[in-house]
């Protein structure tokens, strides 16, 4: 895979945005590989993801930043420049259920997830041998109700030391404090085992079973201070029937959780997600 540049932009919508961006890139020899854009017509916002080959592009990273900034200033853009060859560092937090962890580790090794995984953190010991098999540093950080702040302190130290760009909560069953969340804004992805906003909170499979729904779901989302309420990145569902007991719901749900979390992580790593107004734009 050749390296490519990816530019992510959001700004107030106005005329001439695409012309300005594409002309700038053309002037510097960019061969555009993908471009996608979105407008929110209510909020008058513009979003764009544009990816180009670097072979004949005549700007290096510093020059791009220097020359593009005036355009961005004029058009009030927020922007990020990323490279497909980058391998950001992702930590995985997990509790006792290991299916999402195992899935992410396997995918990373198989080349599906363009990242490094330097760190696994858990409030239990169960994940230690999987971590060892995949050669990932494992830290057991117990979380006692009365000493939660202390545990978070330790976790934040581990993340800072690595350092990591992204945290995947792979069925990590502890609520993170607003302070923790703020430190990694739009960089923590959780999987919730229900079709949010239905069945937020604890024991969603039990709640779904009680309510007698005919489909169960899973949701991956950015973590915000409000529990189970961050911008949704991906959701999926599977059919259940009266024959399915709670255990069946849980098992069917595990397959959803894996897929829904790994898609969100992959899209994040490919710089396809823009979050705004507690929603996401996912460029495909």
Is residue 102 close enough to count as binding its own copies by CB under 8 A?
Answer: yes
Is residue 197 close enough to count as binding its own copies by CB under 8 A?
Answer: yes
Is residue 25 close enough to count as binding its own copies by CB under 8 A?
Answer: yes
Q: Which is nearer to its own copies, 31 or 69 (CB)?
A: 31
Taking CB under 8 A as the criterion, the residue among 3, 63, 69, 245 binding its own copies is 245
Terminal alpha carbon distance of the chain: 18
Is residue 239 close enough to count as binding its own copies by CB under 8 A?
Answer: yes
Distance between CA atoms of 17 and 10, rounded to whole angstroms?
11
Q: Which is nearer to its own copies, 30 or 249 (CB)?
A: 30
Is residue 242 close enough to count as binding its own copies by CB under 8 A?
Answer: yes
Q: Is 120 exposed, middle or buried (0-12, 13-18, 19+ CB in 10 A)?
A: buried
User: 281: how many CB neighbours lie within 10 A of its CB?
Assistant: 20
Are the beta carbons of 5 and 57 closer than 8 angstroms?
yes
CA separation, residue 80 to residues 11, 28, 140, 227, 268 (Å):
12, 18, 34, 28, 13
Spot the catalytic one: 228, 236, 244, 248. 228
Strands, E assignment, the chain: 4-12, 31-40, 45-53, 78-83, 89-94, 116-122, 137-140, 166-169, 188-192, 215-222, 232-239, 273-276, 279-282
Within 13 Å of residue 8, how many CA atoms lie on the same side as its CB? 16
Distance between CA atoms of 100 and 121, rounded to whole angstroms?
14
CB of 160 to its own copies, least distance (A): 31
Taking CB under 8 A as the criterion, the residue among 112, 137, 186, 270 binding its own copies is 112
Is residue 237 close enough to count as binding its own copies by CB under 8 A?
Answer: yes
Q: How many residues bind its own copies (CB under 8 A)?
A: 62
Is residue 143 close enough to count as binding its own copies by CB under 8 A?
Answer: no
Is residue 128 close enough to count as binding its own copies by CB under 8 A?
Answer: no
Taking CB under 8 A as the criterion, the residue among 100, 259, 261, 269 binding its own copies is 259
Range 206-222 burial, b when 16+ CB lie within 10 A, else e = eebbeeebeebbbbbbb
Q: Which is nearer to its own copies, 187 or 252 (CB)?
A: 252
Is residue 36 close enough to count as binding its own copies by CB under 8 A?
Answer: yes
Are the beta carbons of 127 and 100 closer than 8 angstroms?
no
Applying the rule CB under 8 A, the residues between 216 and 235 that interact with its own copies are 217, 231-235
Q: Which is nearer to its own copies, 146 or 239 (CB)?
A: 239
Is residue 39 close enough to count as binding its own copies by CB under 8 A?
Answer: yes
DSSP 8-class letter at 171 = S
CB of 61 to its own copies, least distance (A): 20
Is residue 106 close enough to count as binding its own copies by CB under 8 A?
Answer: yes
Sheet holding 188-192, edge to edge: 137-140, 116-122, 89-94, 166-169, 188-192, 215-222, 232-239
Whether residue 60 lies in the annotated active site: no
**Interaction site with its own copies (CB under 8 A):** 15-19, 22-23, 25-26, 29-39, 41, 56, 98-99, 102, 106, 110, 112, 133, 195-199, 211-215, 217, 231-237, 239, 241-243, 245, 251, 255, 259, 277-282, 284
By annotation, the residues acting in catalysis are 228
């Amino acid at each position: 895979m050749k390296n490519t540049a990816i530019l992510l932009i959001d700004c107030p919508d106005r005329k001439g945005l695409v012309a300005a961006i594409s002309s700038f890139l053309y002037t510097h020899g960019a061969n555009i590989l993908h471009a996608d854009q979105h407008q929110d017509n209510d909020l008058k916002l513009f979003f764009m993801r544009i990816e180009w080959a670097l072979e004949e592009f005549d700007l290096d990273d510093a020059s791009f930043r220097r020359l593009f900034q005036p355009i961005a200033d004029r058009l009030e853009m927020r922007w990020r420049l990323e490279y497909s060859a980058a391998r950001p560092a992702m930590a995985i937090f997990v509790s006792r259920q290991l299916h999402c962890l195992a899935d992410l580790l396997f995918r990373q090794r198989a080349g599906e997830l363009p990242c490094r995984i330097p760190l696994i953190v858990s409030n239990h010991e169960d994940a230690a041998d999987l971590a060892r098999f995949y050669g990932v540093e494992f830290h057991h950080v117990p979380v006692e109700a009365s000493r939660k702040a202390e545990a978070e302190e330790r976790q934040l130290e581990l993340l800072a030391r690595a350092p990591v760009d992204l945290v995947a909560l792979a069925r990590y069953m502890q609520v993170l404090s607003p302070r923790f969340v703020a430190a990694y804004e739009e960089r923590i992805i959780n999987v919730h085992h229900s079709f949010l906003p239905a069945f937020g909170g604890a024991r969603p499979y039990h709640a779904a079973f009680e309510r007698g729904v005919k489909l169960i779901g899973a949701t991956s989302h950015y973590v915000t201070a409000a529990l189970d309420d961050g911008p949704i990145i991906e959701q999926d569902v599977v059919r259940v029937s009266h024959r399915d007991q709670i255990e069946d719901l849980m098992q069917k749900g595990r397959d959803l959780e894996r897929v829904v979390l790994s898609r969100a992580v992959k899209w994040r790593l490919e710089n396809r997600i823009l979050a705004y107004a507690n929603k996401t734009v996912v460029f495909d």
